[in-house]
Amino acid sequence: MIFDQVVRILLEDSKIDVNAKDSRGLTALDISFENISNPLYKEVRERLLAAGALRATSLPKVSSSMDHLRSKVALTEQIAIILIRLKNDTKTESVRNLVLVVCGTVATFTFQAALSPPGGVWQDGNNNNKINNHRPGTVIMRTPNFFALYVCNSVTFYITIMIMALLLPNGNIGEPIFIPTLVMLLFYVLGIFGFLVLHNWEIQFMKKIVHSQ
């Protein structure tokens, strides 16, 4: 009877979690069912059920912090974690410097490819312009090929710039390097925009030539 009274007093306290688990992951109701043959636990079980107690298998699954850490991490999060470690860990300074050199080289090549596309542009002094009806300053490359080059080149350039921005050290060292990088990014966007506008004018110009004939 004393055991039953203790349980009753505990259940009357609204702060008591009747579904708390022990070290084995069992709730109070689970323990009462383990001693189902004991009549004393029958009364306890009835009080627990009246208080809204549940078995561990009936409880909603709540992910713990460890389960969250073990959960699948997205690819972008993995890349961000690697870059942050490279930036903050002094032991990987040589690796960080190597990545910055590689990114700088890739950014230079992609920047050059954007301003000087393969095949070049039509020149004003080209005599074939009158025959081919091409406007000076437009790219010689075919439209599908130029668009594919533009997409791949832009994605590569933006990714390398982002990596460089994340890996550059903070303070007086990183800012003088980061500002010219932003200027280069601005000129890249303006250069690509100029080529696209001229290319669009070229298409409209060719349509007018065709319709006039």
* Pick from 56-65, 168-177, 178-187: least confident: 168-177
Instruction: Write down the pLDDT at residue 129.
Output: 46
Domain parsing of the chain, residue ranges: 2-58, 75-212
Instruction: Write down the pLDDT at residue 109.
Output: 85
Average pLDDT in the 16-35 region?
Answer: 74
Q: What is the pTM of this model?
A: 0.44
Bridge partners of 121? Answer: 139
DSSP string, 32-58: HHHTTT-HHHHHHHHHHHHTT---GGG
pLDDT digits (tens, 9 = 90+) for 111-159: 777 777 776 666 665 555 444 555 655 666 676 777 777 788 888 888 8
The first and second tokens of residue 10, run together, are: 């505990």
Q: Report the candidate in 195, 172, 178 with the shortest Cα–Cα distance to residue 104.
A: 178
pLDDT digits (tens, 9 = 90+) for 158-178: 888 888 877 776 655 556 666
With tokens 């080529």, the residue in question is 195
Instruction: Write down the pLDDT at residue 40.
Output: 66
Please check whether residue 84 is in contact with residue 166, taking contact to mean a CB–CB distance below 8 angstroms.
yes
Instruction: Write down the pLDDT at residue 163.
Output: 81
